[in-house]
Structure 1
Amino acid sequence: MKKNTIDIITMGCSKNLVDSETLMGLFEANGYHCTHDSKNPQGEIAVVNTCGFIQDAKEESINTILELAQAKDEGRLKKLFVMGCLSQRYQKELEQEIPQVDKYYGKFNYKELLRDLGKGEMTLCDGQRHITTPRHYAYIKISEGCDRRCAYCAIPIITGKHQSRPIDDILDEVRQLVENGTREFQIIAQELTYYGIDIDGKRHIAELISRMADIKGVRWIRLHYAYPTHFPWELLEVIREKPNVCKYLDIALQHISDHMLERMHRNVTKRETYELIERIRREVPGIHLRTTLMVGFPGETDDDFEQLLEFTRKARFERMGAFAYSEEEGTYSALHYDDDVPETTKQYRLDKLMALQQRISAELEAEKVGKVMKVVVDRKEGDYYVGRTEYCSPEVDPEVLIPAADRRLRVGQMYDVRITDSEEFDLYGEIVKK
């Protein structure tokens, strides 16, 4: 058990990761040593940053807390703290069920933890984060919360209303990270196209990304979690015209049938969704779209699902994830709908949808063979360097494998790579010799 060492374990999404990195920066400014997601925690203090989005994520968070609670009971851990979405929502229940935890914090008050550890006077870190990703890329969270009221989603219940960060704070953070060697930025929010509405009633996402792109040293900017309704069209001009804004957009669409979209409270129609995709692709040639789709929502019929399959065939998303509906306590669908699609049907539909997407992905990736693409190297793994093109976000998208025997490459550097082969979700390539 290492004195003054804190192990931080992050569950769930990249937005949680940014919170963990912020907390680590605060701890380290005050004399603590931090490790992140250690396979073998050695510190005397552990902090679990939980996820509460869907049932599987909740269970994973609870199992992690229980494992560390046992370590505390056995004397292998001195203090255990829990923060994040799960404890924001279920703090009282968790306090009763797992009393070994010294204190539970929510989604927003976790910075009190340092004071509770006995630090009467805190050294502020001016928002500097301890970046846990490879140094060349980082996540930038531009807002908290969400004003959407999708019928299935518990996020607004957990995080509250949408709150945009001041634009100058975000740009200062990017400049600071550039000074420390970061070159690639994943822009994240629960709903990034809503950015600025709570400040002056206007959408400022295009202005923010344009100004960010003008910062010297920023090589790639990639956008995550847009919403289809009232899409800010001016953002497409920024993606098209700024060479360091990746031709990539993550926009969760969930479903396509009007019946499902209405029941889900998505505030968009089937026709509008098709028109949205057509316009995005027309205005930004070559853009890669990532989306998320849901099967098994209450009331989903065979016809609804067939429309979803047809949509997937026609839209040919370059990147797509899907999941089966799980009822979330307190949401509109939990309160007003019966979870009437059998689990076996949900799984069948999910498997069929993903099998279709697998074929589409294989075809789209095969079209890249023979092309020369800019690739950033993330790591070396076995006999290969592993990298990504501008069309690939870390951890969720296809990677490019480059034989390590050919020449020595530097992590974080960009290289021109000729694509030599493809699989369903990955590419193989060789360095273009100059």
Structure 2
Amino acid sequence: MIKNKIDVITLGCSKNLVDSERLMRQLVANGYTIEHDPREPRGEIAVINTCGFIGDAKEESIGTILSFAEAKKKNQLRKLFVMGCLSERYRKELEQEIPEVDKFYGKFDWNALISDLGKSYHNELSTDRMISTPPHYAYLKISEGCDRTCSYCSIPLITGKYKSRSIGDIEDEVRHLVADGVKEFQLIAQDLTYYGLDLYQSMKLPELVERISDIEGVQWIRLHYAYPAHFPTDLLRVMRERDNVCNYLDIALQHISDHMLKLMRRNISKQQTIELIKLFREEVPGIHLRTTMMVGHPGETQEDFEELLDFVQQSRFERLGAFPYSHEEGTYSDRHYIDDVPAETKQQRMDALMDVQEEIALSVNKSKVGKTMKVIIDREEQDYFIGRTEFDSPEVDGEVLIEKNQPLTIGQFYDVKIKSALPFDLLGTIA
């Protein structure tokens, strides 16, 4: 137990990570040293930033809290605090079940933790962060909350109504991060598509991306978590015209059969989805699309799944993830549907879908063999330097393994000739 040292453990998504980074910056300003994501307690205080999205994430959060609570019982820890989505939603229950936690905070009141430690919150640092990613890239959260009403999703119950950050506030944060050496920005939100409607009464994502791309030093911008219904198509022009806006879009489609899209309350049809994908590929040649599919939602028949499988085979998404439906209390599904697809069937469908996607991903990667691609270097390992192209987002996508035939600098861009392909990674050498 090291005095004046605080362990901050972040669970869940990159949006949680941004909250942790802001908290850590405030703690450092108040004289603490920080360790992010230690495997076991190191400091005298621990803060766990929890996820409460689906069952597996909630179990991981509770398991982590219990592990640190046990350490506190053994006097390996003086104080234990919990924040984030799980405690936003289940604070009263957690307070009763895990009394070892000194205090629970939600997703939006974590700054009270500073005063509870007897320290001062520095308003002038409100957009500053202690970056926990490699210093050349950062996640940029442009909003909180979600106004969608998807049947399965608990996020609106946790985060509340959509709240856009102002364009000026986001620009200020980008300039600050660029000054600290950040070159690559992953724009994130529960729903990028909706950005600006609440604040400016119109969709402002295209304008926001343009203005960020104008900031000197911003070399890559990548877009995560768009929603297909009412997509702001002017964004495609921005992507096509701006060299520092990656030809990459993460847009969660979830399903394709009209039967399932209606049950899921997605407010879009199969035909509209197909036309949208066609538009993406026409307007931005070479675009890489990342999407997410759900299997096993209540009411999904074998015919629905086969329709989804056929759609994935035809659409050939460059990046695709899948997850089985999780019945979350308080959602529309919980109130109106029965979780009627067996867990074994869900797993079988997910495995079948990912088998198809693995073949597509390998084919996509093989098409890059022989090409020279711009790559940013993330880290050095024993046998390779590891980097990414504009089509590869950190953590979720593949990487480029680069032969060690000359020294490379972490965080710098290089031209890499692709020599061979694996299903999810590329192998190359400096051109």
Partner of residue 160, structure 1: 160
Whichever residue aligns with residue 410 of structure 1, its letter is: T
* CA positional deviation for 1:38: 1.5
C-alpha contact 2:83 2:104 (8 A) present in aligned 1: yes
Whichever residue aligns with residue 423 of structure 1, its letter is: L
Partner of residue 76, structure 1: 76
Partner of residue 199, structure 2: 199
C-alpha contact 1:51 1:85 (8 A) present in aligned 2: yes
CA distance in 1 between partners of 2:357 and 2:403 (Å): 28
* CA positional deviation for 1:382: 1.5
1:107 to 2:83 alignment? no
Q: Deviations over 1:193-228 (max 9, x none)?
A: 100000121000000000100101110000000000
Matches within 5 A, 1:131-170: 131-170=131-170
CA distance in 1 between partners of 2:209 and 2:267 (Å): 26
* CA positional deviation for 1:32: 1.0
* CA positional deviation for 1:122: 3.8
Instruction: Report the secondary structure of 2:429's partner residue.
Output: strand
Partner of residue 13, structure 1: 13
CA distance in 1 between partners of 2:301 and 2:122 (Å): 57
Whichever residue aligns with residue 176 of structure 1, its letter is: H
Q: Deviations over 1:358-404 (max 9, x none)?
A: 01001111100000000000001111000000000001101000112
CA distance in 2 between partners of 1:193 and 1:66 (Å): 37
Partner of residue 340, structure 2: 340
Partner of residue 419, structure 1: 418
Whichever residue aligns with residue 198 of structure 1, its letter is: D
1:45 to 2:51 alignment? no
CA distance in 1 between partners of 2:96 and 2:381 (Å): 44
Instruction: Report the secondary structure of 1:192's partner residue.
Output: coil
Instruction: Report the secondary structure of 1:107's partner residue.
Output: coil
Partner of residue 401, structure 2: 401
Whichever residue aligns with residue 25 of structure 2, its letter is: G
* CA positional deviation for 1:118: 1.6
Partner of residue 228, structure 1: 228
CA distance in 2 between partners of 1:424 and 1:122 (Å): 47
Partner of residue 238, structure 1: 238
> Normalising by structure 1, what TM-score?
0.98
Matches within 5 A, 1:290-369: 290-369=290-369
CA RMSD for the aligned pairs?
Answer: 0.7
C-alpha contact 2:111 2:121 (8 A) present in aligned 1: no
Q: Deviations over 1:329-360 (max 9, x none)?
A: 00000110010011111111011000000010
Q: Which runs of 5+ in 2 are unaligned?
A: none
Partner of residue 181, structure 1: 181
1:429 to 2:431 alignment? no
CA distance in 2 between partners of 1:127 and 1:284 (Å): 33
Q: Percent identity?
A: 63
Q: Deviations over 1:145-188 (max 9, x none)?
A: 00001000000000000000011010010001101110000000
Q: Which runs of 5+ in 1 are unaligned?
A: none
Partner of residue 253, structure 1: 253
> Normalising by structure 2, what TM-score?
0.99
CA distance in 2 between partners of 1:24 and 1:413 (Å): 26
Q: Deviations over 1:251-271 (max 9, x none)?
A: 000000000000000000000
CA distance in 1 between partners of 2:115 and 2:136 (Å): 32
C-alpha contact 1:25 1:127 (8 A) present in aligned 2: no
